[in-house]
């Protein structure tokens, strides 16, 4: 079975990006996937070493030992990475991040990269942002969205930005869903936006007399439309 590397981002902080990344990693680990958090702020001391909380959560959840190869830069201050690095006198070298990613690629079939917050979170002040890192790795994105009041705006802005930047959307996860009526409406609004854009498709093949013939295409857009119709039926 062949998989892609992908980059998990959120529409906001505390939207559940690490939780979703953890569940994805737990499911894909058996296929030699590796989790990677390039830069983590808000780290804490454990045995006199800075520990990345996202890596700590993931490894405990999965039931494996803490793995410091999953993170390149650990910063103590619980602020944006660019500010934390300035406060602590740490120079973030993107080349080091790229080398770390390439090293992991040699050991593992695929890499699941988790970002910090959303697309426009700065890693180096006025120079390098999360979206730059996504482009550097040339990865598609799995976008984690909330469903609370205000989620429509956050989701639409991020989808528009991804489209403008030419960054491919691989998946959309609505997290922390509680079944409220306004959450269904928020999800429908976001899905309507997705349907307007052509998304990846897979060929549907039929084997006849030892030969394969193309009979159609199974598209993510069509699956999204089916899900959208189900939501509409639910609200009627």
Residue 45 in tokens? 């001391």
Domains of the chain: 6-139 (3.40.50.300)
Question: Does 232 participate in catalysis according to the annotation?
Answer: no
d(CA 224, CA 145): 16
Residues 6+ apart with CB under 8 A from 189: 152, 155, 156
pLDDT at site 2: 77
Per-residue pLDDT for the chain (236 aa), expressed as one digit of tens each? 678 899 999 998 888 999 999 999 999 999 999 999 999 999 999 988 999 999 999 999 999 999 999 999 999 999 999 999 999 999 999 999 999 999 999 999 999 999 998 999 999 999 999 999 999 999 999 999 877 777 778 888 898 899 899 999 988 888 776 666 666 776 776 666 666 654 444 444 455 565 545 545 445 555 455 555 555 665 54
**Which one of 4, 37, 99, 234 is the catalytic residue?**
37
Question: What is the number of other CB atoms lying within 10 angstroms of the CB of residue 186?
Answer: 24
Per 3-state DSSP, the chain is made up of helix, strand and coil in percentages (nearest 5) of 45, 25, 30
| Phi, psi for 10 (deg, rounded to 5) | -120, 165
What distance in Å separates the CA atoms of residue 14 and residue 11, rounded to the nearest whole number?
9
């Amino acid at each position: 079975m062949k998989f892609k590397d992908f980059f998990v981002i959120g529409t906001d902080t505390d939207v559940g990006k690490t939780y979703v990344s953890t569940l994805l990693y737990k499911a894909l680990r058996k296929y030699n996937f590796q989790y990677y958090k390039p830069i983590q702020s808000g780290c804490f001391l454990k045995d006199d070493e800075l520990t990345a909380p996202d890596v700590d959560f993931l490894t405990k959840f999965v039931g494996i030992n803490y793995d410091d190869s999953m993170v390149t830069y650990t910063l103590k201050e619980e602020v944006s990475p660019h500010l934390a690095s300035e406060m602590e006198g740490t120079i973030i070298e993107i080349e080091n991040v790229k080398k770390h990613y390439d090293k992991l690629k040699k050991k593992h079939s695929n890499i699941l990269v988790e970002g910090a917050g959303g697309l426009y979170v700065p890693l180096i002040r006025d120079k390098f942002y999360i979206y730059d890192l996504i482009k550097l790795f040339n990865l598609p994105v799995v976008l984690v969205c909330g469903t609370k009041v205000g989620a429509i705006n956050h989701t639409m802005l991020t989808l528009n930005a991804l489209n403008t930047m030419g960054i491919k959307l691989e998946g959309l996860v609505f997290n922390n869903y509680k079944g409220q009526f306004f959450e269904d409406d928020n999800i429908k609004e976001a899905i309507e936006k997705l349907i307007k854009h052509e998304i990846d498709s897979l060929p549907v093949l039929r084997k006849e007399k030892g030969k394969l013939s193309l009979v159609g295409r199974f598209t993510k857009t069509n699956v999204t439309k089916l899900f959208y119709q189900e939501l509409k039926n639910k609200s009627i």
